[in-house]
Structure 1
Amino acid sequence: MNRHSILFKIGIFFSIAFVIITILFKFMYDYEFLSVKEKLKGHYHKVARYVMQHHTGIDSNDEFLKNLEKKHIKIVGDDKEKLVKLPKSDSISCGMLYFDLYEKDGYRYLVTPEVTGGLILKDMNTKPINVYYMWWLYGAFVFVFLALFLSIAISMYPLKHLQMQIRRFGEGDMDIDLASKGKDEIAEVSNEFDKAVKKIKAMINSRVIFIRNITHELKTPITKGRLSLEFLEESRTKDILTNVFLRLNLLTREIVQIENITACDCNVDKKSYHLTDILDNAADLLFLEPDSIKNNLDNRVFEVDFDLMSIVFKNLIDNGIKYSADSEVYLELQGNELSFCSRGEKLQYPLEYYTQPFTKCDANLSESFGLGLYIVNYILEKHEYALSYSCKNGINSFTIAL
């Protein structure tokens, strides 16, 4: 169990409380036992006084016997030698003399000193010292205590369910149900979070529909415009319009690509693939021949999402070609690090700056909208891979730690 969890802390609290209450009950039991024992000694102290009064002549023999009868005490002639060999229960002090108390066969016997005649007085109404009701109280307390702990533990279970559902939601699963019929605070939180999830789901669906409609509506006039330009004569106006439609088409394509990746929170389906196969697919997306991209890739396999990693390769290769001095990219695999290398000037800002959307390395480059590295970094984070950048001897290297 997680030692930082609330249930663990509640368990520790109940354990400490249980130990403390058990110790208190033990003290109460001992105190109650001693109290009953003191009352019992008081009872036999009166009997000892009757003996002393008879011995000193204050009471007659008849009065003495009558007093003993009131206390259900009877003078018996049991074997005194055998009796005194038994363990002594207690001693009753009366005057300067001591009266010994013994227990035998469920009865108590009070043996008087020899100076008083060495009488053996049998208590005919002997009752055991019984304080076991304290343990019944303790048992009832333990039952209530455990019932309370189990009740709290059961009421905490929906919190664990809520945690699991929130984790699923964080991983991109929108089809979760957090509605609760309970009436406690956890149920209220679950219901409020369920409302928030439904609202977010509705907003995301609206966004998806909105972006897809926009891209669909944009593609139609862009396509018509580009077709219409083919019928125009060559002129500066045609070049400007061609450039405008090209930028609009690129922007629409980038928006669609981002939407495809982020709409469902980019669920990663990892399987074993050769890096050469991913490179071939990326080259096809760029309309390049695979052999035109230099590399030292071997036949090792890695656990990746084929389609998403193909986009990573495509964007990094495309960036390398666009921004390199010789329009060439070299892929170098060293251990579990894959570097996309190209000649060019060192980046002006840290890598974190370029992994933000709509940030470009070259503001004058019209063919880019600054979304390539943003998409690359997003996909790699979903793979739990890291992207780093270095520049040595005029070689820019974007490295993926696989």
Structure 2
Amino acid sequence: MLRRFLIDSSIFFKITGLFLFALLSFLGFSFYFIKDQVEQDNQREELRYRYFISTISPIVRESKDINVIYQYLKEFGFVQSSDPRIKEQLINTNKLPPFVQGVFAKTLKTDSGIYILLETPKESILFKYSPESSFVNFYIISIVAIIVLSLMFVMLLQAFAPLKILHSNIKKFSNGDLDISCKLGHKDEIGELAQEFDNAVSKIRALNESRSLFLRSIMHELNTPITKGRLICAMLEDSSAKERLISVFKRLGSLIEEFAKLEQMNSKTYRVKKREFFLKEAIDQAKMMLLIDDDERIVVENENDLIKADFELFTLALKNLFDNAIKYGEDKKVYVKAQMQNLIISNRGKPLKEDFSEYVKPYFKENNSQGFGLGLYIIKNVLESQKFEITYQYEDEMNHFIIQGCVVENSCKIKG
């Protein structure tokens, strides 16, 4: 569990955790090291104090010259002090009688150091032994190490900060926004990665623009002969041939409109706008796109079911499903019904020979089949753009293509 947490956590969290661990470890080591050194120094100073007490008394007794004693104290590390409070305390301790001659020494150990008072009938001089701390250099090294560690932490965060910009741009790119720039101006590995990603986005943007220009040019060139053909048909005398030609040109015009929608959808320029509408509206639109006048070809269980989807894209998917169902159905009919939140489009015939996942791949074609093999691939992508999923079932000699989650109100359920 801990391993999974460490793997899934962000890189900034890992860096911060590593810095805190290093900082706390260093502070803990410093604390225990200084504590141990203080204890050792206290023991050494205690031994030094005892040695001083044992040696100063004979020197004071034997020497009559205060300068000799002063020189000894200086060599031992004492310096002259002017602390009036300590001096007064030592003078008042065991006051010397006025008739006593010679030099006397009084000692006092405090937390601030060791004091010794050399006293004669004429004068008294206070000396202090305050050992220099051996930890000053270590304190300086510790502070410098903490500062360096903190600076390295800040530098690491600054080095990885562009990852957030790169992540934001990649997220925009995944949502279809190609108008992004990932140039960071850094020379490190992250900067190189951002530069390569920016190059890839530029190439994809250029490819999309050329593809879009190519498709639009084709559609424009196709529109010209279709328009001329319809004008020529309008000048013909009324006949069944004229009606057939007009229907053919209408069909070609609707196909170009479908290609335009698909091009917008693939280039991420089409904005899906869902709304509620009755199933009858979508079926009528699909019939018009298929140029079907025969109502018996499409059998609907209830036309009052309420659908919520993008009307244009949804009718485009229905049109392709109806076209496939009629084309490959044994009775050349398509059956439509709602079941809970799903819409089922069915036809009577043999089951699919391959797995359904193969049919939704681009350019998939069974043996001897006509067309480009894009029908179900287009249907799948059109539905997925609306967050719908299409599945397949075969029951009772019927092929069922199920659009899941598009029905918001089932009239049969209400009646029941």
> Is the pair's TM-score, using the shorter chain for normalization, greater than 0.5?
yes
Corresponding residue for residue 170 of structure 1: 174
For residues 241-269 of structure 1, what are the alpha-carbon distances to aligned partners after superposition, in whole Å with 9 as ceiling and x for unaligned? x9xx99x9599749935852554147552
Corresponding residue for residue 337 of structure 2: 332
Corresponding residue for residue 11 of structure 1: 16
**C-alpha displacement at 1:293, in angstroms?**
4.5
Distance 2:282 2:53 in 1: 106
The answer on 1:260 being equivalent to 2:266 is no
> Which of 371, 376, 380 matches 1:377?
380
Matches within 5 A, 1:184-263: 184-218=188-222, 220=224, 253=256, 256=259, 259-263=262-266
> Which of 305, 308, 326 matches 1:321?
326
2:201 is aligned with what amino acid?
V
The answer on 1:284 being equivalent to 2:288 is yes
2:90 is aligned with what amino acid?
V
Evaluate the alpha carbon distance shift between residue 332 and residue 124 of structure 1 in structure 2; reply closer, same or farther with a 3 A threshold: same
> Which of 144, 160, 164 matches 1:156?
160
Distance 1:271 1:220 in 2: 33
Q: Please tell me whether the aligned partners of residues 115 and 128 of structure 2 are also in contact (alpha carbons under 8 angstroms).
A: no
The answer on 1:274 being equivalent to 2:277 is yes
Evaluate the alpha carbon distance shift between residue 165 and residue 257 of structure 1 in structure 2; reply closer, same or farther with a 3 A threshold: same
Distance 1:30 1:184 in 2: 43
SS in structure 1 at match of 2:263: helix
Q: Please tell me whether the aligned partners of residues 107 and 123 of structure 1 are also in contact (alpha carbons under 8 angstroms).
A: no
**C-alpha displacement at 1:373, in angstroms?**
0.5
TM-score, normalised via structure 1 length: 0.71
Corresponding residue for residue 399 of structure 2: 396
Q: Please tell me whether the aligned partners of residues 218 and 252 of structure 1 are also in contact (alpha carbons under 8 angstroms).
A: no
Distance 2:327 2:214 in 1: 32
SS in structure 2 at match of 1:345: coil
1:397 is aligned with what amino acid?
H
For residues 28-58 of structure 1, what are the alpha-carbon distances to aligned partners after superposition, in whole Å with 9 as ceiling and x for unaligned? 3224434543553454244133147569xxx
Q: Please tell me whether the aligned partners of residues 254 and 289 of structure 2 are also in contact (alpha carbons under 8 angstroms).
A: no
**C-alpha displacement at 1:141, in angstroms?**
3.0
SS in structure 2 at match of 1:341: strand
Q: Which runs of 5+ in 2 are unaligned?
A: 80-86, 95-106, 117-124, 236-240, 406-416
**C-alpha displacement at 1:181, in angstroms?**
2.4
The answer on 1:37 being equivalent to 2:39 is no
**C-alpha displacement at 1:179, in angstroms?**
2.1
SS in structure 2 at match of 1:383: coil
Q: Which stretch of structure 1 is more off in the superposition, 292-301 or 125-134?
A: 125-134
1:256 is aligned with what amino acid?
F
Distance 1:32 1:336 in 2: 77
What is the total number of aligned residue pairs between the two structures? 355
For residues 78-121 of structure 1, what are the alpha-carbon distances to aligned partners after superposition, in whole Å with 9 as ceiling and x for unaligned? 559xxxxxxxxxxxxxxxxxxx98426x45469xxxxxxxxxx9
Q: Please tell me whether the aligned partners of residues 166 and 194 of structure 2 are also in contact (alpha carbons under 8 angstroms).
A: yes
Distance 2:372 2:316 in 1: 16
Evaluate the alpha carbon distance shift between residue 45 and residue 264 of structure 1 in structure 2; reply closer, same or farther with a 3 A threshold: same
For residues 168-222 of structure 1, what are the alpha-carbon distances to aligned partners after superposition, in whole Å with 9 as ceiling and x for unaligned? 1122111112122233322222222212211221122112222332344355567
Q: Please tell me whether the aligned partners of residues 377 and 387 of structure 1 are also in contact (alpha carbons under 8 angstroms).
A: yes
Matches within 5 A, 1:295-374: 295-296=301-302, 298-302=304-308, 304-360=309-365, 363-364=368-369, 368-374=371-377
Distance 2:372 2:254 in 1: 7
**C-alpha displacement at 1:330, in angstroms?**
2.1
Aligned-residue sequence identity (percent) comes to 27
RMSD: 4.2
Corresponding residue for residue 93 of structure 1: none
Distance 2:253 2:349 in 1: 24
Matches within 5 A, 1:25-174: 25-34=30-39, 36-38=41-43, 40-41=45-46, 43-51=48-56, 53=58, 60=62, 62=64, 65-66=69-70, 69-70=73-74, 71=76, 72=78, 76=90, 102-103=109-110, 106=112, 108=114, 124-126=128-130, 131=135, 134-135=138-139, 137-174=141-178
1:386 is aligned with what amino acid?
E
**C-alpha displacement at 1:391, in angstroms?**
0.8
Evaluate the alpha carbon distance shift between residue 222 and residue 278 of structure 1 in structure 2; reply closer, same or farther with a 3 A threshold: closer
